[in-house]
């Protein structure tokens, strides 16, 4: 039995990114304490590196998209099976150009349109609201 009964979202990308970002935060904090612009800039640069490394690991399948993963992928050392195609509603995947296209099942229905005699006419509801 697992130590937890639900997915905490722990991933290799998350752990590595958090570790690198923690080093950057310590460096930037030391820069504030010692009034050193070099340490502050170095800490911020390490933070940017943490962001890029986390993003690269996510795209390589070591991260997790938004939402719930299947139970078989709960372990933090398990690669994500859906990373190659991109994740729905994932900013990192969209920035990398991995967008899933939504499939429309039928004709687009616009609320407020009424079909009269086979032709679409705007609904009269709210027609007087412009006065």
Q: What is the pLDDT of residue 5?
A: 63
Q: What is the pLDDT of residue 6?
A: 65
Q: What is the pLDDT of residue 112?
A: 55
Who's near 90: CB < 8 A, 6+ residues apart? 65, 66
pLDDT < 70 stretches in the chain: 1-7, 9, 99-131
Q: What is the pLDDT of residue 11?
A: 87
pTM: 0.66
Q: What is the pLDDT of residue 98?
A: 80
Q: What is the pLDDT of residue 71?
A: 77
Calpha distance 19→16 (Å, rounded) = 5
Q: What is the pLDDT of residue 101?
A: 54
């Amino acid at each position: 039995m697992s130590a937890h009964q639900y997915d905490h979202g722990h991933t290799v990308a998350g752990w590595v990114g958090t570790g690198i970002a923690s080093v950057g935060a310590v460096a930037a904090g030391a820069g504030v304490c010692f009034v050193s612009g070099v340490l502050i800039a170095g800490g911020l640069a390490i933070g940017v590196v943490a962001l890029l490394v986390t993003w690269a690991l996510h795209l390589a399948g070591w991260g997790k998209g938004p939402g719930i993963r299947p139970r078989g992928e709960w372990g933090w050392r398990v690669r994500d099976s859906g990373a190659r195609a991109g994740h729905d509603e994932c900013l990192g995947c969209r920035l990398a150009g991995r967008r899933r296209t939504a499939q429309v099942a039928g004709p687009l229905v616009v609320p407020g349109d009424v079909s009269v005699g086979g032709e679409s006419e705007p609904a009269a509801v709210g027609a007087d609201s412009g006065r």
